[in-house]
Structure 1
Amino acid sequence: MSKRHSQKHKIDRRMGENIWGRAKSPINSRPYGPGQHGQRRAGKMSDFGLQLRAKQKLKGYYGNITEKQFRAVYDEASRRKGNTAENLIGLLESRLDAVVYRAKFVPTVFAARQFVNHGHVKVNGKRVNIASYRVKPGDVVEVREKSRNMALVLEALQSGERDFPDYLDVDAKAMTATFTRIPEFSDVPYPVQMEPALVVEFYSS
């Protein structure tokens, strides 16, 4: 299990955006970067800087993914037929922890990884504890019966902070979610603008 080196709120402040759309984000009250130089006026960013920022924002959004893991996802996306940027988003959204987060079984992407790692999730009736497990269209993801009364799960499902995306068929009462299809970039409910094309430019330059 990879170690999270920076808190999620630090990622928000570093990017200058509320990248998960959460009400508790410090960006809502302090819309500038952290540290003593955080309020300085930002200069114009280079093309490389824009590409790096796009990569860091997309990688940071999915929680505890390391650079090595993220690069491996990109490499697979580039090998597949079609648009690499679209493939990249499809692969990221197919991760089990991403599906658990989208289904609102947990409140954050960070909690989703831990929730999966601790064995609270089944895929097609079998327990899976690997957050990066690739979910396929038609797969049914569910919270184990023993875990369904956890406060974390109940609070997340009742939260009005996020909606279910169209590519998941969620039964909140049964705590199951069917991954109906691999989404396109335009289908994914990012609270802020993501730029996967710039991520592709970053790795291909």
Structure 2
Amino acid sequence: MDMRTPSRAAGRLRLAALVALPVLVFSAACGSGGDGLKTGEDIASVPGDTASGSQDTAGSGTQGGAGDKGAFYDAQMTYVQCMRGKGGIKDFPDPKLSGYLDWTKIDELARRPGNQEASKGGKKGVCGTEMSAAMRLEPKRDVQKEYESFLAHATCMRKHGVSKFANPTLSGGNVMPGGDPNPAAPGIDTDSPAYKQARQACKDKLLDGLDGMQ
């Protein structure tokens, strides 16, 4: 993997290992092999018994408490301040008004020399505790809507030329984001003009808070 351009999924997966939070553990490689790749219009529905929005979804924070958006935003600001301080990323961006991190800006920041840790919770994951606290307060999200959002985005990405972009899957009631079928040996060039154009064209397919997960 090109360490100059760490993927969103890889960065969050490394952070999840540091903070040991199952709710954060996800990978675009899980269950997203060639057999699951569809090239036509996909039916946006969740297979299996996953209709309940109370299911925990990978990376979505559905394990959260009362869904207090103010508390979620405050917790994210605490994480941001940690990243700017002991995390060593002084330009780490503010969260969006919804409380979710702006992964487009974080990715851009992580591409700058010396800022590779921007997508990994700071140097040596030093801000993992603060991120964990924020994730526990993330508002609950309906599992089916999250799956549909990932699926619509994956379909859009393929229609815009990223043919290897895999669909999301479900594992143990959790939504596993799609994307590169093998992040350990990336087959999708995320720095290519075609990929960037597809990301721009398909960004509105993702629900707020999912933009950095697929």
TM norm structure 1: 0.29
Structure showing greater relative contact order (alpha-carbon pairs closer than 8 Å, 6 or more residues apart): 2
TM norm structure 2: 0.28
**Bigger CA radius of gyration:** 1
